[in-house]
Each structure stands twice: as structure tokens, then as C-alpha cells.
Amino acid sequence: MMPILYSYRRCPYAMRARMALKYADIQLEHREIELRNKPQSMLLSSPKGTVPVLCVDDLILDQSLDIMRWALGESDPDGWGAVDADISQAWIEKNDGPFKTLLDQYKYPNRYPDLNQETVFSAAIDLMFKPMEAALQSNQHLSGDQMTWIDVAIFPFIRQFAMVNPQRFNELPFTLVKQWLNQHIESELFHSVMHKYPAWID
């Protein structure tokens, strides 16, 4: 039976999972969900109700990083998985933890009326963009001169941050981060996982 992926096109977690699955050339059935009308089949597989969810026979993976690791375990032609564990953990903990919180606060200011948006913006810059720029001064990618799953795992969140206010982002003094981001945005891999699908209905 072909693996089934429940996904939502604009979700950064789903994006990174789709990119890893595409890179590993995993043939699958794509089921695009509507957030307000989630299919029962997905909820039965993963009651937490968030995407992505990958169903491979009796195996249910409902965390994007687990899906990425599974995909690379199946096929890793360019050595995406060859990255220092401590380096990868540090980037992922920073991105998926405090940076994701700041990203939500920056993207949805109406939800956080008590927060100063300039403070949020500055915190995100200090936390993520300054270390990224420093890393990219030494290497072409975040963990070396070869692209790894870390770049792909973080890219959708950086893209989302940049899209909140593109003009302000373009004015930031992080030339290398912007080059890195554009390389991913313009990549064939990213474009290949951004097709629009009709909503799946059980």
C-alpha cells in the first residue's frame, strides 16, 4: 500500500516533511486537508489533528522531524543526514522552540496585544538571524558546505518570517541569510512540493 501523507500547503512543518519525502523520492498519496474540516481518516490516525501525518502501513508518523528522518532512512542520495548531532540539535531546538514562538507573535500581532512588536522583532533577529549570518560566513549552509536536513527543516520558518513584511526583511543587513533563503525559495525541490491540491474529503 502506498504511503499516505496528510498535509496543508502553507504549513511550515508540512513543507519540510514534503521536501524530505520528495528528496528521498518516496512515492505517496497526497491528501490536502482543510484546517476547518479535517478528515476523519486523519483524526483516526492522529487524534492531535495537526499536519503533517504520514501513514505507512501500520506506522503512523505525526511529527515533521520524524517524517524527515524516516524519509532519509529510506533514501539519502546527497548525504543530507551527514550532520553533527549536537549542531543539528542546537539549530532545531532554537528554531522549533523560541523562534517559532517569536514568529507567531510577529505574524499574528492581534493575538498578542500586550507585546511590543519592536521587541519581538529584535528578539527574533538576535536569536536566529545573527547566528545564521555568522554560520553562513564560514560555510555555504548552516552546518557546513553541504546542504543537510537542517537547512530544509529551518527554511520554511525563515521564509514565513520574511513574508510577514518583505520590505522590512529586505532592509536587514543579513546578506548571506537572504541569499541562503532565496536559494531555497528558487530551488526545484521547493517548487515541486508547492503544487495546489484539492481538499481531501473522506
Cell matching residue 135: 554560520
**What are the residues facing 5 on neighbouring strands?**
30, 54
The answer, as to whether pTM is greater than 0.95, is yes
Q: Quick check: 5 pLDDT over 90?
A: yes
Report the share of the chain in percent with pLDDT over 90.
98
Q: Quick check: 132 pLDDT over 90?
A: yes
Over residues 75-116, the pLDDT tens digits come to 999 999 999 999 999 999 999 999 999 999 999 999 999 999
Task: Give residue 106's pLDDT.
Answer: 98
**Backbone dihedral angles phi then psi of residue 61, each to the nearest 5 degrees:** -115, 115
Residues 103, 82, 52, 198, CA torsion sign = positive
Task: Give residue 1's pLDDT.
Answer: 85
Task: Give residue 118's pLDDT.
Answer: 96
The pLDDT of 7-11, averaged and rounded, is 97
Rounded to the nearest 10 degrees, what angle do helices 175-185 and 130-138 cross at? 80
Task: Give residue 186's pLDDT.
Answer: 98
In 3D space, the residue among 24, 2, 13 whose CA is nearest the CA of residue 192 turns out to be 24
Sheet holding 4-7, edge to edge: 29-32, 4-7, 53-56, 59-61
Q: Quick check: 202 pLDDT over 90?
A: no
Residue ranges and CATH numbers for the domains of the chain are: 4-77 (3.40.30.10), 85-188 (1.20.1050.10)
Over residues 18-64, the pLDDT tens digits come to 999 999 999 999 999 999 999 999 999 999 999 999 999 999 999 99
Return all residues near 157 (Cβ < 8 A) that are at least 6 apart.
12, 95, 99, 100, 103
In 3D space, the residue among 109, 101, 200, 110 whose CA is nearest the CA of residue 157 turns out to be 101
In 3D space, the residue among 55, 51, 23 whose CA is nearest the CA of residue 38 turns out to be 51
Over residues 156-179, the pLDDT tens digits come to 999 999 999 999 999 999 999 999
